[in-house]
């Protein structure tokens, strides 16, 4: 993707405001931190939907929004930026770029590309890619997969977040007014501090038309914020209080697993009760019924056949008693 011309890239790496910058006040942007370069200009609308138009509907038009103050990533620093834009017609789309002064190849860009270049492996003319020092994207995603079209004139929202602790760059995209998606459309592992060190970094949103392109790119809002990240809180460094952090992590995991623990306890208890019941019934069958059978064996079926009664008559001779007397 030829995302920006040499003029735009040279404008990005300058640390002073060029004389060709626009004096117009961008809407929904801080005029003290943003200025316009090239063909970028403010379009005032009657419905208060004023915006910055980066390119004119003419071939070879190019423009840029650039932050006045450079950024620094020497210390672990997270970046979050959000902007809304629209693209109409065929061209190269737009690019969010972070570039270090004095080094044309030392940049990171997020391209919202509306052209297909087979030489750099573009999947189609409707994709988002992450570029690191080259027009060949290190990570790319098909925007059609999230049911969006970059260049149909619809207003879109983009979020680009770099987390210094995990060293991951994530890009999200949605229709304007929709909530920020939970899942990024594309992401890439990267360490800003290793790329730029202590060098100042310029941030800008750029667009350019080719010799046969009349694409119009508009930016409606742009917010950017930085957050210093403590080394002790980084995911790839030892915490200042290992026991404290580990305890907190254990408590968090314990809270998450608590319902599962209760369910496992109920299942285990039910199994134990069933097992005890089975053992009791088994023992009852073995011993109780065996004793009953033994008692039945001892009782004869015909008791009268084995027991006999005999009558004994005793005769007393009265004369015998008289003789004895």
- pLDDT tens sequence across 89-119: 888 899 999 998 656 678 999 999 998 888 8
CA nearest neighbour of 133 among 313, 3, 324: 3
Residue 154 has pLDDT above 80, yes or no: yes
- CB proximity list for 2: less than 8 A, separation 6 or greater: 92, 117, 135, 208, 210
- pLDDT tens sequence across 27-81: 677 666 788 888 999 888 766 678 899 988 888 888 999 888 899 998 899 999 9
- pLDDT tens sequence across 206-246: 998 888 888 999 999 999 999 998 765 444 443 334 344 44
> Which residues share a beta bridge with 131?
109
The rounded percent of the chain whose pLDDT value lies above 70 is: 62
DSSP code, position 313: -
CATH fold for the domain made of 6-233 = Jelly Rolls (2.60.120)
pTM for the model: 0.67
Give the pLDDT confidence score for residue 116 in this predicted structure. Answer: 87
């Amino acid at each position: 993707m030829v995302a920006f011309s040499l003029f735009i890239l040279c404008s990005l790496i300058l640390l002073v405001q060029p004389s060709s910058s626009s004096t117009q006040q961008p809407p929904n942007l801080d005029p003290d931190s943003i200025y316009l370069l090239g063909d970028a200009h403010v379009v005032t609308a009657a419905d208060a939907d004023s915006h910055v138009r980066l390119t004119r509907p003419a071939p070879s038009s190019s423009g840029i929004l650039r932050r006045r103050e450079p950024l620094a990533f020497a210390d672990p620093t997270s970046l979050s930026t959000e902007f809304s834009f629209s693209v109409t017609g065929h061209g190269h789309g737009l690019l969010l770029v972070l570039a270090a002064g004095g080094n044309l190849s030392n940049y990171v860009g997020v391209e919202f590309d509306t052209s297909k270049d087979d030489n750099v492996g573009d999947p189609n003319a409707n994709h988002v890619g992450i570029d690191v020092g080259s027009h060949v994207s290190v990570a790319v995603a098909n925007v059609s997969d999230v049911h969006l079209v970059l260049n149909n004139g619809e207003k879109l929202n983009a979020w680009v977040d770099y987390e210094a602790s995990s060293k991951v760059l994530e890009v999200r995209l949605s229709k304007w007014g929709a909530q920020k998606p939970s899942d990024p459309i594309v992401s890439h592992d990267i360490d800003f501090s290793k790329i730029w060190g202590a060098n100042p970094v310029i941030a800008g949103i750029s667009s350019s038309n080719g010799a046969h392109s009349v694409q119009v790119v508009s930016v409606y809002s742009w917010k950017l914020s930085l957050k210093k990240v403590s080394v002790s809180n980084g995911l790839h460094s030892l915490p200042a209080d290992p026991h404290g952090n580990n305890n907190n992590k254990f408590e968090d995991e314990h809270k998450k697993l608590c319902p599962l623990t209760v369910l496992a306890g109920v299942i285990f208890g039910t199994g134990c009760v069933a097992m005890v019941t089975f053992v009791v019934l088994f023992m009852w069958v073995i011993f109780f019924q065996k004793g009953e059978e033994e008692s039945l064996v001892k009782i004869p079926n015909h008791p009268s056949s084995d027991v006999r009664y005999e009558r004994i008559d005793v005769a007393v001779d009265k004369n015998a008693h008289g003789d004895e007397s």
